[in-house]
């Protein structure tokens, strides 16, 4: 009996780490669904992955993560077109250069980097469970260190700067991973998050005038997006992912995040408020 086709969904797959994650998964034999905001860029990325991997099983699905309706639409399309889902890579992310609101009226960085993957993961959880063994890999960052959140004021302006907002969103990624991992114990679905390294993508170009200028200065000395995808690909393909369940990973090793990221009471408050904000 033939092995069932393995299906992976990678968000933020138009460029950078997401593009190379999609490429690595296509080379590893997955059917890869690539999600991204801009349809034209996503189609170019799809062609790149197909050409470089030799795979004909690469699908673009446009979705703007600044809109929860678009996230719901993406989940509906995935569920309608695939009867299984073996891997979800929550990779999409941004650093907003100025304070902006999402289509739903939430602070944009938290909306795209946390609320969108929170909603998407929850909408796909049942399909992941029925496809077990399955995996959820979320791209966090060392930028979470020193960040603090108040779940009750999660999506407002607060003490806003581009890098503070980004750090808070990455703290949310780790807290979310720990909370969803607890809910998945014994299900055969493994959830882990990671720091990809400081990667020369476009994400920092718009991090405000001073930080963005600094980013562009150091970018030539940073690791490549291809190297940045390595930890996501490791967690997606390692033969025994069980030791990484609920963990924060750097390279191929479990790392200690900031103590705030280990606060399970905070994680549950964040889960409850995120559920309310996304309308679950």
* Domains and their CATH numbers in the chain: 7-278 (3.40.50.720)
Angle, in degrees to the nearest 10, between helices 162-184 and 264-278: 100
| Other CB atoms within 10 A of residue 256 CB | 10
What is the C-alpha to C-alpha distance for residues 168 and 164, in angstroms, rounded to an integer?
6
Q: Is the pLDDT of residue 10 over 90?
A: yes
The catalytic site residues sit at 166
User: What's the token pair of residue 142?
Assistant: 């060392």
What is the C-alpha to C-alpha distance for residues 134 and 118, in angstroms, rounded to an integer?
17
Q: What is the pTM of this model?
A: 0.92
What's the pLDDT tens digit per position in 114-136?
Answer: 999 999 999 999 999 999 999 99
What's the pLDDT tens digit per position in 13-52?
Answer: 999 999 999 999 999 999 999 999 999 999 999 999 999 9
Residue 230: HSE in the Cβ half-sphere, 13 Å Cα cutoff: 12
């Amino acid at each position: 009996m033939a092995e069932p086709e393995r299906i992976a969904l990678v968000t933020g797959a138009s460029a950078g780490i997401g593009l190379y994650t999609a490429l690595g998964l296509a080379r590893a034999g997955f059917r890869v669904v690539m999600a991204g905001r801009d349809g034209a860029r996503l189609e170019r990325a799809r062609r790149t992955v197909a050409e470089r991997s030799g795979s004909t099983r690469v699908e673009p699905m446009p979705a703007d993560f600044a809109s929860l309706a678009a996230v719901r639409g993406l989940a509906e399309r995935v569920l309608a077109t695939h009867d299984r889902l073996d891997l979800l890579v929550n990779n999409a992310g941004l650093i907003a250069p100025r304070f902006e609101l999402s289509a739903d009226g939430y602070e944009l960085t938290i909306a795209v980097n946390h609320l969108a993957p929170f909603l998407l993961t929850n909408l796909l959880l049942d399909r992941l469970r029925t496809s077990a063994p399955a995996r959820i890999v979320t791209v966090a960052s060392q930028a979470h260190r020193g960040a603090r959140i108040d779940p009750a004021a999660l999506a407002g302006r607060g003490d806003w700067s581009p890098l503070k907002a980004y750090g808070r969103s990455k703290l949310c990624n780790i807290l979310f991973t720990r909370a969803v991992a607890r809910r998945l114990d014994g299900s055969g679905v493994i959830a882990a998050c990671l720091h990809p390294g400081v990667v020369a993508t476009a994400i920092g170009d718009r991090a405000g005038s001073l930080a963005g200028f600094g980013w562009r200065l150091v970018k030539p000395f940073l690791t490549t997006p291809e190297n940045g995808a390595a930890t996501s690909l490791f967690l997606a393909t390692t033969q025994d992912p069980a030791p990484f369940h609920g963990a924060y990973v750097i390279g191929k090793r479990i790392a200690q995040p900031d103590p705030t990221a280990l606060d399970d009471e905070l994680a549950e408050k964040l889960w409850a408020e995120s559920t309310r904000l996304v309308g679950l």
